[in-house]
Amino acid sequence: MRISAIQMNPGSDKRQNIAQARELIQGALAEGRPRLIALPEMWSCLGGDRETKFREAEELPAEGSNGTGGAAYEFLREVARANSIHVHGGSIGELAGDRLYNTTLVFGPDGREIARYRKIHLFDIVTPDGQGYRESAVFKAGEQVVTFKAQDLTFGLAICYDIRFPELFLQLRRAGAEVIFLPAAFTLQTGRDHWEVLLRARAIETQCWMVAPACYGRHFDGNNDPRVTYGHSLICDPWGLVIARASDGIGWATGRVDQALTQRMRRDMPVLEHRKLV
């Protein structure tokens, strides 16, 4: 399966972000003819104050209902349906009472939602340059490990900060995952040292392909202070080799997931069967 990981430079205006996503998706489809498109974390609204985050977040239809959603939800659905492809919607803000969920949505070629994942690990840290992040002040943590099937492949879902918790990725592998998505808005400070290292490590440990669409460049928080994301969207194989990478700026990385390669690696080095610790 050919997959394109879209790299965006979103801000806090959802309409502008949808327009940017549409243009990039059209470019990736024309150039690489992927059967699955994946967007980065919080591409529909990155930055802004609490009021802005809530205004741009969306109440989602009940799972399995095929009901109508908000602007970002319907945009993702229409991209899938119009192009007869699978769409991994990165993540968007999901309304949940007095806080939000950081939520991934996946749509099948008929436009039906087939998977939903809420980010489990929330980014409450101080980066080396002293900038503080407290995702839990706005977002709730998810609780469910989620996989889905597409074209005989099993995909696992994770988001950004989840990458630092290998036990989640082991659970995804045990649930049958062959490819794991990690949409992200990794900070420049952490990304330049840890982004590729962590992605390749999770790929090697789980013997899964990693698909990591990322936000790139500057946006502004609620105090109008600049925040910078690292970008460097990539796809790596189960051996940990990067097979596709986005340059600086907006764009995409397209690569082909080879199920036979995954099966061969797992047969020749059966690390899951050799694992002694729970």
Distances (CA, A) of 41 to 5, 83, 105, 259, 262: 11, 22, 11, 26, 26
Out of 160, 208, 215, 236, the active site residue is 160
Out of 14, 53, 119, 140, the active site residue is 119
Contact status, residue 5 vs residue 246, Cβ threshold 8 Å: yes
Token pair belonging to 82:
């119009």
Angle at 60 between CA 58 and CA 63, to 5 degrees: 165
Question: Rounded to an integer, what distance in angstroms lies between the CA atom of residue 161 and that of residue 238?
Answer: 20
23 is catalytic: no
236 is catalytic: no
53 is catalytic: no
Token pair belonging to 272:
């899951």
DSSP 149-208: EETTEEEEE--GGGGG-HHHHHHHHHTT-SEEE--B--BHHHHHHHHHHHHHHHHHHHT-
Contact status, residue 141 vs residue 103, Cβ threshold 8 Å: no
Question: Beta strands 153-157 and 216-220: pairing type?
Answer: unpaired
Out of 14, 41, 45, 208, the active site residue is 41
Question: Rounded to an integer, what distance in angstroms lies between the CA atom of residue 250 and that of residue 264?
Answer: 35
Catalogue the active-site residues.
41, 119, 160
